[in-house]
Structure 1
Amino acid sequence: MSSHRAHEVAVFGATGYTGKQIVRELLAAGRDVVCVGRDRATLEALTATFGQPVPIEIVDLTDRPRLEAICAMVTTVVNAAGSFAETCEPIARAAITTRTHYLDISGEQSPIRFVFDELHDLAVSAGIAVIPSAAFYAALADMLVPITAAGLDRIDTVDIAYDITDWTPSGAAYNNFLRGIGQPVVQFDHGFIDVATPAYYTADFGRTRGAQRVFTYPAPEVLTLPRHQNIDRIRTSMTTSTFRTPVPDRLVPTVTRAIGKGLRGPAAPLVKKVLEATTGSSHDRIDNDPTRFRIAVTLRADTIVRTATLAAAGIFDITAPIAARIAEVTLHDSFEAAGALAPAQVVDPKTFLAGLTEHGLSYHLGTATGDLAQ
């Protein structure tokens, strides 16, 4: 495929915080990249910082012929332009029409579910891969779980808990946060279910963080893991401390639901102002990533219990190498996978996570109980 295309990769949303880092990762790897966006001046200012000529393309997502023309130029498109509820379908459909691989960095459950439910068969017929959530959400957990589950034929339950410090939603991430807050959360229990009322419980983050209070959170690996692991139930959560709300931890789920209702009613402007004042969130993009994160996995299979933790800095910064390296895999002549695929179906999880250690990522498999293999 690549021998018949003018370029290798097109990055949509190249001027965004993560998009421009993905471009830099790909250029550093020697890849031929096209930067795609809506504003020529902003794109030209961006490419002037790269120290080498980088082509740009201007497009409006409502212009289907133009979208297809850009996709036809490359082997793979990377969609880093949120909100993915708006950008995923037009870009992915244009990619499928032109037989171009597609991946995105979405953490939104709705567009990820759309990719698997609506685009899988089309992608198989086109002979190309569509890979949602090649990012901090859900790629890291999507790869940590199969490593933790090595040798198990079936898993009863998987609990995945996130702890993020210094997280301040801004720009597109803030808009996505507002759109999703208070919405039903998709979890997995012998099939996908909507959870209207978040649960409140405790998760163990290991020796560094210990036990933390968490509540049900719409993490996207709920949708990716069942593609390649035999799991009965998946539960995902976030620490209450992540949101830095000025209420007791036990009230965070209730307050979250109330905020969600407020954002969909006449008091929405006031609710947004209160959110911005109490959390520091902003529609203006913050051009740094001060976050640190820890992901804790607990899986159970009959009498076996296994745990694992993964940690690093920068939920947005770590997304750039994740997306760039998965995109690179699709450029290889030997890559023949087709359909809607989870990140762990495209790369070897253990090798991939090991390759991210240069970005400060580390993971630890805890001691197992009831496991004769240990």
Structure 2
Amino acid sequence: MKIAVYGANGYQGRLVLAEMARRGIETVLAGRDLARLEEAASAVGLPGAERRVADTSDHGALLNAFRGCDGVINCAGPFTSSGEAVVRAAIAAGCHYVDTSGEQLYVKKIFDAFRTEARNAGVTVVPAANDGCVPVDLMAHLLADRLGSVEEIITTHAVVGGGGMSRGSLRSVVETIDSIKAGGLTYDDGDWRPGAPARRTAITLPGRSEATPVTPFPVSEVVTVPRHIRVRHVQGLTEAALGDRLNTPLTPQIIENLPEGPDEDSRRTQHFTYVIDATGTDGRRARGTVQGPDTYGTTAVIAVESARRLIADPAEPGVLAPAQAYHPTAFLDFLVPHGIRRTIEDTAAT
């Protein structure tokens, strides 16, 4: 098994490389700058790994970078401006593809633009293989099985600690700020629509005695969940305080003067809680909760395992949601030793 990591020299890319090295998976480092790729290879203990240089503007170079590989993990954001080129080249090279994007409109565009191309090539594409979308999408599927028929799914993201975002994440925020300010897409009666008001303004999160104010947010599972669950409404929320922080103006100069990303000690202090509230058509309700540490480290684990599973146990070709590509319980069980805990409980009927 050979997997190419594009954007291998970036902050998230290096964490993915470290996970690849830990698991002994043959790795090709791909990116725009040979010197930075060599530095990354040495830093993560892969000094002998092959390095291939390719810019996203050069399809031929990308194709050569992925040729002979079984899969591609794309860590090079912002994905909105460059991700499609990497997807196109991976499909042309016959490689299964995952990425670490959290950019909602980009994720939807990959579904819309590449499903036929990927299917015809016999390739599986799973965008947004990150700490949030994969476990939340899988949990939503389990909740739908529990309720039988689903009217509404509301997901809420809450993250505390961790020392802030990486430069790459901040660049993605800048590139998608209009979508963030508008609250992203909401799925409603068969289509995705922007600018919908929050269906809830406060949610009581696990371990908190008082309700937390929340605001609409462009999470990727709003795009993926309706592809495998028959549901009328899906919306993503986050803590209102996070939404306020992300609205703070950022410039490229400010971002460049920040650390590349949180250090390891800071990441150890981070804790995320993702809540999935599902309401059945009969009024019954169930809540799924996913909790764990270190969003960037968890994303590395999930991205590597997502690519590995596509290669070792192929799914249907095309662009798929996580729950279409992987067995939900099996994948969630894999995450338990990595500190990712999940619960499902019935809640009071409406």
Deviations 1:298-336 (A, max 9, x none): 11112211112111111111101100001111222x415
Q: What is the deviation of 1:281?
A: 10
1:55 pairs with one of 30, 50, 53: 50
1:20 pairs with one of 1, 7, 14: 14
Bigger shift: residues 45-54 or 291-300? 45-54
Helix, strand or coil at the partner of 1:335: coil
Q: Is the 8 A contact 2:11 2:168 kept in 1?
A: no
Residues in 2 aligned to 1:39 and 1:189: alpha-carbon distance in whole angstroms: 43
Deviations 1:111-157 (A, max 9, x none): 11111111001111111111100102311211111122224342100
Bigger shift: residues 189-198 or 322-331? 189-198
2:176 pairs with one of 177, 180, 204: 180
Residues in 2 aligned to 1:345 and 1:204: alpha-carbon distance in whole angstroms: 30
Deviations 1:186-244 (A, max 9, x none): 11111111116667701121234652110000101000011111111011100123357
Helix, strand or coil at the partner of 2:108: helix
Helix, strand or coil at the partner of 1:112: helix
1:107 aligns with 2:102: yes
1:320 aligns with 2:319: no
Specify the alignment match of 2:206 in structure 1. Answer: 206
Specify the alignment match of 1:286 in structure 2. Answer: 261
Helix, strand or coil at the partner of 1:337: coil
Residues in 2 aligned to 1:225 and 1:59: alpha-carbon distance in whole angstroms: 33
Q: Is the 8 A contact 1:162 1:239 kept in 2?
A: yes
Letter in structure 2 aligned against 1:360: G
Q: Is the 8 A contact 1:106 1:137 kept in 2?
A: no
Residues in 1 aligned to 2:97 and 2:59: alpha-carbon distance in whole angstroms: 16
Question: Is the alpha carbon distance of 1:13 and 1:136 closer, same or farther for their aligned partners in structure 2, counting shifts above 3 Å?
Answer: same
1:272 aligns with 2:250: yes
Q: Is the 8 A contact 2:277 2:286 kept in 1?
A: yes
Residues in 2 aligned to 1:77 and 1:218: alpha-carbon distance in whole angstroms: 25
Letter in structure 2 aligned against 1:225: V
Letter in structure 2 aligned against 1:170: S
Residues in 2 aligned to 1:210 and 1:318: alpha-carbon distance in whole angstroms: 28
Residues in 2 aligned to 1:291 and 1:207: alpha-carbon distance in whole angstroms: 16
Alignment of 1:355-374 (within 5 A): 355-369=334-348
Q: List runs of 5+ in structure 2 lacking aligned partners.
A: none
Alignment of 1:213-252 (within 5 A): 213-242=213-242, 245=245
Q: Is the 8 A contact 1:14 1:37 kept in 2?
A: yes
Specify the alignment match of 2:317 in structure 1. Answer: 338
Letter in structure 2 aligned against 1:34: V
Helix, strand or coil at the partner of 1:48: helix
Q: List runs of 5+ in structure 1 lacking aligned partners.
A: 1-6, 246-251, 260-270
Q: What is the deviation of 1:162?
A: 1.0
Letter in structure 1 aligned against 2:13: G
Helix, strand or coil at the partner of 2:73: strand
Bigger shift: residues 22-31 or 111-120? 22-31
Q: What is the deviation of 1:170?
A: 3.2
Residues in 2 aligned to 1:143 and 1:368: alpha-carbon distance in whole angstroms: 19
Deviations 1:239-260 (A, max 9, x none): 1233575xxxxxx9xxx4xx6x
1:82 aligns with 2:91: no
Q: What is the deviation of 1:66?
A: 0.8
Q: What is the count of residue pairs matched by the alignment? A: 338
TM-score with structure 2 setting the length:
0.89
Deviations 1:146-180 (A, max 9, x none): 12222434210011111111362331111111222
CA-atom RMSD, angstroms? 2.4
Letter in structure 1 aligned against 2:52: E
Bigger shift: residues 336-345 or 114-123? 336-345
Residues in 2 aligned to 1:210 and 1:352: alpha-carbon distance in whole angstroms: 32
Helix, strand or coil at the partner of 1:272: coil
Specify the alignment match of 1:68 in structure 2. Answer: 63
Residues in 1 aligned to 2:80 and 2:86: alpha-carbon distance in whole angstroms: 11
1:142 pairs with one of 137, 142, 146: 137
Helix, strand or coil at the partner of 1:94: helix
Question: Is the alpha carbon distance of 1:30 and 1:170 closer, same or farther for their aligned partners in structure 2, counting shifts above 3 Å?
Answer: closer
1:11 pairs with one of 5, 8, 13: 5
Residues in 1 aligned to 2:343 and 2:303: alpha-carbon distance in whole angstroms: 23
